[in-house]
Structure 1
Amino acid sequence: MKHLLKIVSEDQSFVLDQRRKLAGRGAWVHEKCLRLALDRKGLVRALGDSNSESLETWLRNQAQNMADTQ
């Protein structure tokens, strides 16, 4: 389970829940599957966000940051 990321939608913003304790609508995704989930719009559906562009931008930035640290 340590390779799964929890992304939570809170008050029109998105949070990467590293402690896995935040309440709110969330989605779990394997860190290596993040790009595929973005391309297939799976996270947009899971989080129920109407502003899919902001979610995709945020997630792409998170994915890039994770790639840079590895």
Structure 2
Amino acid sequence: MQVAPSTSSPPPTSTPPQPTSLPPEGEVLALIVSGASNREIAAALYISERKVKNHITSILGTQAAMFASAYLGWLHD
């Protein structure tokens, strides 16, 4: 006699995976919004103040590119 394979899955043994973290720029931005200084951000994320400044430059560059793209799209409409 053959036993039919079970069609139900076993109950989960662990919790579903959670997002690991924000991208570095997202972590920096979250701390900026909370009012942290560059020095405080560097200490909280265990990075140098220079790295914090690099992330801020990246954030501002992304925002400027998005604004320019939207503005140029508006001009061509």
TM class, shorter-length: 0.3 to 0.5
Structure richer in strand, relative to its length: 1
**TM-score, length-normalised on structure 1?**
0.36
Structure richer in helix, relative to its length: 2
Higher CA-based Rg: 2
